[in-house]
Every structure is written in C-alpha cells, then in structure tokens.
Amino acid sequence: MDVRRLLVASGAAFALLVGFAGSASAGKVQPHDMLATPSAGTVGQHVTITNAANSKCGGSQGDGPAEVSLSIIKPDTHTETDVIVEATAAGNWSYLYTPTDQVGTYTVEGTCTDVPGQGAETSATDFDYTDATFDIAAAVVTTTTSTSTTSTTQPPATAPPAVAAEATPALTG
C-alpha cells in the first residue's frame, strides 16, 4: 500500500512540474528582429531590409495575410513612410531600399499587422520589430592621372659660317 501512495504522490508531483514548465515557456516572448544587409556601405549602396529567420510576420496556421509597414529615418532625420511590404504565406518579407543619398546612420522601424479588411486571425501579427540600422559613408573618389612626355629630336643649332674678315685700310689723313 505504501508503494501505491508513493507512486500517486510522484505522479502528482510530476504533473505539477510539467504544468509549471509548460506555463513558463508559454509566456516566452518571440524576438521581432529585422536585418539590414549590408550594414555599411557608401552613398548609392542598395540595402536589403528583411525579417530575421526567427521573426516572421504571420505565417502560422490561422494567420491571414500579413504585411509590414516600414519607416526609414535618414541621417538628416527626414522620415520616409508608407513603405508597405506583403509577407509571404510563410511569414517572410523583404524590401530593397535604394536611395541611400546621405552620409550617416539610417534607422528602420517596422510594424507587422494583418492586411486590413481580410478578416484574419491575429496570432503572429500586431507587433513592432526591433529597429535595424545601417551606416552609409561618402563614396571614395579615386582619380588616376597619367603623365606622358613627348620628346622630339631636333638637330643641334648651328651658327652660320663665319665670314672672313677683310682688312680695310685705315683712313689717314
């Protein structure tokens, strides 16, 4: 009989332990990272902004179409908004940013939401991504100069032949 009570108590303790472990992992917050690649370049550089592999926008069963709204803050603090990128059915998205026309640090802010009017369930949407940054430097201008010397060969200068001196009688008189 004591063995039986011991087994029942052990089973209850195990159930409580598993229940607490399940609750702890259920509240775990998923990362919301996005990437800017390359993270540094020169003026005119194209930069790809995308979700990190562990930070999908939607893509779970029951999620409807999702989209990402991006704001790109230039070094002069001017903000480019209204960049909307649709996420794939798997929750991935990517945007090619091309007008890197200023020197300094660009900051990208992103928000994952359901596509308006689609009646989707919200389970892996409605969150803000962690800001991504990339640095743009002045383009390096290299100039190559080439010097060439042109030489021409000319014959050495010659003086006209000397005229023989004639003696003139001195005037006397």
Confidence check: pLDDT of 3 > 50: no
pLDDT tens across 53-90, in order? 989 998 887 777 899 999 999 999 999 888 999 999 99
pTM across the whole model: 0.63
pLDDT of residue 28: 54
Torsion of Cα atoms, 97 then 100 then 105 then 107, to 10°: -30
pLDDT tens across 86-123, in order? 999 999 999 999 979 999 999 999 999 988 766 555 55
More confident residue, 8 or 60: 60
Of 83, 69, 45, 72, the C-alpha closest to 125 is: 69
Q: Worst-scoring range by mean pLDDT, 54-58, 99-103, 133-137, 168-172?
A: 168-172
pLDDT of residue 60: 80
User: Selecting from 3.10.50.40, 3.40.50.720, 2.60.40.10, 1.25.40.10, what CATH number does the domain 29-53+63-137 have?
Assistant: 2.60.40.10
pLDDT confidence tier of residue 165, bands split at 50, 70 and 90: low
Per-residue pLDDT, averaged over 151-163, amounts to 56
Q: What is the CA radius of gyration of the chain?
A: 41
Helical residues (DSSP H) of the chain, grouped into ranges: 2-26
Domain extents for the chain?
29-53+63-137
pLDDT of residue 136: 97
Phi/psi region, residue 82 (left: phi>0; alpha: psi -120 to 50; beta: rest), is: left
